[in-house]
Structure 1
């Protein structure tokens, strides 16, 4: 392509309008369609100091006249990376809708949140439309409808991974920017512990669901009960608020946690613990294994294992729900396989750990976990292991006996009865409707 002459260009900077045209021109022959207005139209945020082009973060700088510019070489590099991407339009990943899927934990996902952008725009069609990191995702979207069920949306797997990489890159860039700002400013003084306690007491006293007496520790009052039945009983919210969280034992309980595979109530827990134990789903059958799993499977493992085994079904089978077992397999079972790199504190694990699976726990012969590392310098998406469900379950039972022997002793089919005759299937068909885990 013939280089476009930009009058008044200095130090390799070009204006955003010129960069838009350059981006579209350089990527015109690539496999991934790009959008005009990649640097000037929502969700681009040039005034925040950066824009996303593909999986690359491009810094923006102020130029004369209050305008913004970018380095031409960075735009060209981003275009080269995008053009090198191979794309199989038949290898699709479902991106929505997932009814009842949890929001990602605060601080664990970049502001791009491309899945939310896709869902919001498809729910309200007819608007101006938005690009994602300079990519025209609408031209790649596939809509599928089966037997009159609500349509589902699919994108090529390579494009999904590219957008994941864009979120990851932006999150790193923003963390670095916040670190620089913190180093040059003094944070405001936090309120005293006494003042925070007084505010918390004031909120509790005005809540209609709070009991008049202090909450008390939870025993086994709700063990073996089905959540579908118990949650419909009148006054259950007030009863739950009368207990302390069964995990941290410090905060008042606010919700009734239950096993989504077997339907049994586990225990009343606080909102913080309820959020922490949820698997961090990327897709319906894909979990990102973030740093918070250190508490679930390492520092506070005994407490969490005891909590999960309050479910009659999990305790009888001496296993975890499918997404939790998948996360354990990646985080603990395949720990020795994860690559590492040199860091300020010695060797540190690199990349972002994730695990996906096919099939369900109801068909263990065909259920398979695939553990991968994304954003690894040795390979963008490096497969660490493929572990059959039965092998993962056996490894977990052996680890449970060493980590929490009291929990392991109380488990097993010979110690329990009243198991569900037909447990709820989990991700039996990823294209089905209403199969979201949470």
Structure 2
């Protein structure tokens, strides 16, 4: 039975209120990585998202099954293991595709060092990319960062708290030499890495020819029934190029006519199916069809357009 995101969130929260692993039911509302693979993760459990009449929903059976499994999970808080966090890697060293792959240990390190950098800026101190702030202190954190400051800064944003729908900082402890987490929780996150990688690998394949697309979902296009993956050549064969014939027409006019943006290729990349009409919010004039990714990029750069 399809249920709304709001009801799914409420039901899941009730089922997992005593779960041994800290969870964030709001993941069901925000749907992170939806474009990549169409699921929401809680640990290694992937809850599939469905789209019906342009609205995202869940299957109630999936929510109940995930909630029961997580509530019944056994986690020995005294049975802990060394997390073995990797060394910090700066941006110039990153391989774009490799960096997008799930790696919860690297994510924890990224949170720690990002906060240490922010601390320098907040104190008005000169930022040196290779400065002493990169040195690990006696508390296991970089620079002069304290555990209280780290937790407080992480609480301000969901993306600095959650990994696979769970909140690792509520279980993470420093032994004086190593970072520790419950063994069962470490195993859970390791399984999540494998599960997510498998889902993304399947979602990367063009639905028409099977060609593999970019890891971060550049070929994924939203439709009224969900996301579909289509490579540029297959998109070019399936959709018509936009010739600029609607530029300057009022957006409300083409909406009343039922002229669909997803009948066209994106006016900028000219390789992917468009998903929305880009238009001027001040004057209402249509600029042309865009993909979801391109539209998000232009919205970020809106002050410069």
Q: TM-score interval w.r.t. the shorter chain? A: 0.3 to 0.5
The answer to which structure has the higher helix fraction is 2
- Which structure has the larger Rg? 1
TM-score in terms of structure 2 length: 0.47
